[in-house]
Amino acid sequence: MPKIDKDNVLEILGKKVLPGKGATINFNMAKLYTTTSVEVPVIIERAKKPGPVVLITAGIHGDEINGVEIVRQIISKGVNKPRIGTIICIPIVNIFGFLNMAREFPDGRDLNRVFPGTKNGSLASRFAYQFVKKILPIADFCLDFHTGGAARFNAPQIRVKKGDIQSIKYSQIFNAPFTIYSRTITKSFRETCAKLGIPVLLFEGGKSQDSNKDVAKTGVEGAMRILSHLEMLGAHFDYPESAKETVIIENSTWLRAKYSGLLHVKIPCGKHVEKGEYIATITDPYGTFRHKIKTPNEGFIINVNESPIVYQGDAIFHISLNKKIVSDVKERDPEEI
């Protein structure tokens, strides 16, 4: 188990990192079929002065490149070099998935559904177990970066559990365009952090196998605001305060395709729409069919399916709902199923 001793020396993954020093330590868990080792770089930067330990992760799903880009920028800009305390960055947690551009581990399991893992279980479960035992306990705060699954593009957002006052406070400091009340998924990284008493913010922005510079900018600046709040951000960094406060969304629903065909989206993700607003068209490939999609209610479009073709029943838009209309989230996120 990682620890910081009385002399402020960090011991993690069998290595010691002194105050004021940095290190890259490879977390070696398994091998490919060729016996080639698969190593997960863990990038550690420490200030001389004691302080919080912040763990910044991305790539728990191997095809979610935008999160990887956010953590890459945090490192390349030197944002991860703290004034006090320690910042640990893991840009790609699921190296296996990243190599294959796949969401899952090679065993077909979603890493974010097997935490805290088991010592002798599947490959994904073993990895989660070692991660929770050897890295996570040292963290005082976690930032975990994700994107929408498949072709579903998420507006930049922080997801928190309704009623979690501490996480809501941190989400307002991060100040993404949206903060969405979202239940904690069983056996997820977020649930494991919560059970260990470690505050965590889950950021979603963009879509799989895509890198969006505006989403990345939002993620990096949000991380800087958190680090500034913790008095860890370097004094030479300057970042713009957001002109608007994060929009808190308590309730939302998925709009699904009534027909199969070619999808033509007419509005940008993040837009506020009125009830009955024309937002997309579904056509057939032969020029004989055209169906207009209109919004069932006023709200913000927080996710757009950017796939050029859809089947009947596919989730195509995620729309916020006025809390006067409903009392709970109407339908589960497709990624949770």
Q: What pLDDT was estimated at residue 239?
A: 77
Q: Is residue 235 in some structural domain?
A: no
Same domain, 201 and 275: no
Q: What pLDDT was estimated at residue 238?
A: 84
Q: What pLDDT was estimated at residue 28?
A: 87
Q: Is 44 helix (H, G, I), strand (E, B) or coil?
A: strand
Same domain, 86 and 185: yes
Residue-wise pLDDT for 68-92, tens only, equals: 999 999 999 999 999 999 999 999 9
What angle is formed at CA 164 by the lines to CA 79 and CA 324, rounded to 5 degrees?
A: 115
Q: What CATH number is attached to the domain comprising 277?
A: 2.40.50.100
Same domain, 185 and 49: yes
Q: Is residue 194 in some structural domain?
A: yes
Entry pTM: 0.94
Q: What pLDDT was estimated at residue 337?
A: 47
Same domain, 175 and 205: yes
User: Among 176, 198, 229, where does a domain finish?
Assistant: 229
Residue-wise pLDDT for 121-168, tens only, equals: 999 999 999 999 999 999 999 999 999 999 999 999 999 999 999 999
Q: Is residue 237 in some structural domain?
A: no
Q: Which residue pairs, CB below 8 angstroms and at least 24 apart, start in 269-272?
A: 269/153, 269/154, 269/155, 269/301, 269/302, 269/303, 269/304, 270/155, 270/156, 270/177, 270/178, 270/300, 270/301, 270/302, 271/300, 271/301, 272/298, 272/299, 272/300, 272/301
CA atoms within 13 A on the CB side of 101: 5
Q: What pLDDT was estimated at residue 50?
A: 98
Q: What pLDDT was estimated at residue 4?
A: 95
Same domain, 73 and 16: yes
Same domain, 307 and 210: no
Number of domains in the chain: 2
Q: Is residue 212 in some structural domain?
A: yes
User: Among 229, 262, 280, where does a domain finish?
Assistant: 229
Domain that holds residue 270: 251-336
Q: Is residue 40 in some structural domain?
A: yes
Q: What pLDDT was estimated at residue 1?
A: 87
Q: Show the tokens assigned to 68.
A: 């990887």
State the SS3 of 227-247: HHHCCCCCCCCCCCCCCCCCE
Same domain, 125 and 271: no
Q: What pLDDT was estimated at residue 326?
A: 36
User: Among 197, 229, 261, where does a domain finish?
Assistant: 229
Q: What CATH number is attached to the domain comprising 128?
A: 3.40.630.10
Same domain, 262 and 163: no
Same domain, 14 and 102: yes
Q: Residues in the chain with pLDDT < 70?
A: 323-337
Q: Is residue 244 in some structural domain?
A: no
Same domain, 74 and 134: yes
Q: Is residue 304 in some structural domain?
A: yes
Same domain, 60 and 199: yes
Q: State the Cα–Cα distance between residues 331 and 324, nearest whole angstrom.
A: 17
Q: What pLDDT was estimated at residue 324?
A: 42
Q: What pLDDT was estimated at residue 331?
A: 60
Q: Is residue 63 in some structural domain?
A: yes
Same domain, 275 and 199: no
